[in-house]
Amino acid sequence: ILQNMVIIIGINLVFGLSSQGIDNWGHIGGLIGGAIVAWGLLPQYSRPTLVSLTPKPLEQEQRTGWEIGWTIFCMALLLFGLQAAHTIATY
């Protein structure tokens, strides 16, 4: 999956450099923004709390409050960025 992502990133940057109507900063901003959102929504795992002689799978931690807060924070950041871009564009 990571190899496919690197290929798509490369294709987007090549198209941005070879075409006049495409802004590479938009692609780079989307890449960084997507990585930040994905980082905050990654599942968190922990080792099982009970000691056992047989292997146990990792336990996924419940982080519903964190995920909701992170989503609200990212949406607020997006709205702030859109407002800043609109303000800059009007000058």
Predicted confidence (pLDDT) per residue in 32-87, tens digit = 989 999 999 999 888 877 777 788 888 888 888 999 999 999 999 999 989 998 99
DSSP state of 68: H
- Chain mean position to CA 28: 12
Instruction: Measure the CA–CA gap between 22 and 27, rounded to whole angstroms.
Output: 9
Domain positions in the chain are: 63-91
pTM above 0.75, yes or no: no
* H helical segments located in the chain: 2-18, 24-41, 64-90
Instruction: Measure the CA–CA gap between 32 and 26, rounded to whole angstroms.
Output: 10
Task: Give just the sign of the alpha carbon dihedral 61, 62, 66, 68.
Answer: positive
